[in-house]
Structure 1
């Protein structure tokens, strides 16, 4: 018998336990991502291969593969009943993110001779993520309206990325800025949804959804810093 209840309907103590588990798993996901990157960036053949995949239609193929793995991982984490399968989905998604980030982080490191840009992007991302989360938890604003905006926004973004690859133009600073706004909206929406629509047993899917939005935000903040360097 399923005895789980919505987070919004349980006691404050039970909510605190759920949020502790969710954000602990988010933090562990970030740590796993960092550890994975530290290994992947040292594998020269892999780095060279992924850098070669950033050109033209190859990048489109890589993004397509990433989206497929993302779909599989998210379905495993959300729909699986057993915790091991949920963890497997979460781990698969973290690995996919680590792989897709390799070219961007490599360029950021070796174009500036260090980790300054990455550290700056991480601090800005963490600060913005924290601020957006506080807004959701300290106000009664209903962020469910963002669902339609995000769906349309992500389809437009995918269309712009595909067009840029096909026609060979750089999307530039303003696209990255728009994606930061979109990622911020995703954090607001996902946090609100976790707060109001998730069961108390869904802390792994909750952590995955926050991790996905956090990584998207980090990606485009780093791109903005790199473009202005």
Structure 2
């Protein structure tokens, strides 16, 4: 499996975010699987040290590049001097040889300077370019994650406030119902009190009448109507005997 570069990993994160589903009733907010995103970011973090080490290696190779450039420049100069010396040996073309030698020397110095400058520019450009690009991409990802977290936090706060409001309404309705129940119960008890008092008075009157029937002028009687009939019969028998 080929190793992924930073640019490829960042592109995968961008594609992953683009493929996330939108939140219900929202056209700008998405639902991001936290574990998957964290895994991709961790892989990116693990990759960064290698890229930074590669940039450092380029900087270390800078000296080697410069040394190689100097060697090539010295070789060109040496060859130019040798060629110039050959031309100088020929007396017929001494003046031309000097001119040619100077031109070669100037060209060699110019080429050497150009090689050194290009090596420095390439090394710095590669290093700075990779670092700035990585920094920009990480900043974009960080800003997006922070914005998503803030939006989710706001949604949860709104949900809690809505639930609290509904709870307050339910509690108020419950208190009103309890008050109505208490009022109706009190009214029913007040209506039942006169009926109980009337029933108690009627029972007391009945008891008084019964007690009056059990008493005569001599006090409470111990016999019934049957006893009176027996006495009358005895009186009649005595009268007949007489």
Pick the TM interval, shorter chain. under 0.3
Indicate the structure (1 or 2) with the bigger Cα radius of gyration. 2
TM-score w.r.t. length of structure 1: 0.26
TM-score w.r.t. length of structure 2: 0.25
